[in-house]
Amino acid sequence: MKVNIAESWKQQLQGEFEQEYFHKITERIKQDIANGIQIYPNGKDIFRAFELCSFEDTKVVLLGQDPYHGPGQAHGLCFSVPEGIRIPPSLVNIYKELHNDTGFIIPSHGNLTKWATQGMLMLNTSLTVQAQQAGSHSKIGWERFTDAVIKKVSSGKDNVVFILWGGHARSKVALIDQNKHLVLQSAHPSPLSAHNGFFGNRHFSTCNDYLKAHGKAPIDWQV
């Protein structure tokens, strides 16, 4: 698997790339593709979050679960879809909360690449998925890898904002040193749960207030 990531991530994660479990992930994906199984996102986008946001620039971590499993949706950034793809329901709710929290103008697309280029690591805990089968790659080793990523950010950085929405993301809180980072937790923005604490969480303004208080540039949320 060709891993196209920022040089600083290569240095941070070299030990993971060399481990047997990571080789098993790559072999599983290659085997699926050889068997004609559609995997999302495309190979060049699997590590896109690490390509657009270097380790040294990371100041916010937004944690998702699975890549989108519909055609053309996943492009390596959690919650984001390329322009021209219908905005998914969870992102519709993210936009609603952004508007209510910050005055964000809701766009006609769901491409959040601009967030990633400002120091936001938009990380799914599984980096691949089989078409139309949510969670299909959640047990092939990806979580060991992305847990290591979260630990690296927690131990190697200061004053990072971790945004955890929903039970799966919130289960990762034990990996984060809350004495030196801000952890924002709420319900997931999915239509099934957004009214149980996602709406009104004001995470976007809280994130930026924290960044500014620690001498970091706030995120320009407008896309």
Q: What is the mean pLDDT of residues 178-199?
A: 97
- pLDDT band (50, 70, 90) for residue 109: very high
Is the pLDDT confidence value at 1 over 90?
Answer: no
Is 147 annotated as catalytic? no
**CA 150 from centroid of its chain's CA atoms:** 11
Return all residues near 175 (Cβ < 8 A) that are at least 6 apart. 147, 150, 151, 154
Q: What is the mean pLDDT of residues 9-20?
A: 96
| Three-state secondary structure string covering the chain | CCCCCCHHHHHHHHHHHCCHHHHHHHHHHHHHHHCCCCEECCHHHCCHHHHHCCCCCCCEEEEECCCCCCCCCCCCCCCCCCCCCCCCHHHHHHHHHHHHHHCCCCCCCCCCHHHHCCCEEEEECCCCEECCECCCCCCCCHHHHHHHHHHHHHHHCCCCEEEEEHHHHHCCHHHCCCCCCEEEEECCCCCCCHHHCCCCCCHHHHHHHHHHHCCCCCCCCCC
Q: What percent of the chain has pLDDT over 70?
A: 99
Mean of all residue pLDDT scores within the chain: 96
| Residue reference for tokens 């657009």 | 52
| Residue reference for tokens 């993210």 | 94
Q: How many Å apart are CA 99 and CA 91, to the nearest integer?
A: 12
pLDDT of residue 4: 81
- pLDDT tens digits along 169-187: 999 999 999 999 999 999 9
- pLDDT tens digits along 27-83: 999 999 999 999 999 999 999 999 999 999 999 999 999 999 999 999 999 999 999
For residue 147, which amino acid is it? D
pTM of the model: 0.96
Is the pLDDT confidence value at 217 over 90?
Answer: yes
Quick count: other Cβ atoms within 10 Å of Cβ 107? Answer: 13
- pLDDT band (50, 70, 90) for residue 2: low
Select which of 45, 66, 101, 220 is catalytic. Answer: 66
| Three-state secondary structure string covering 40-54 | ECCHHHCCHHHHHCC
Q: What percent of the chain has pLDDT over 90?
A: 98
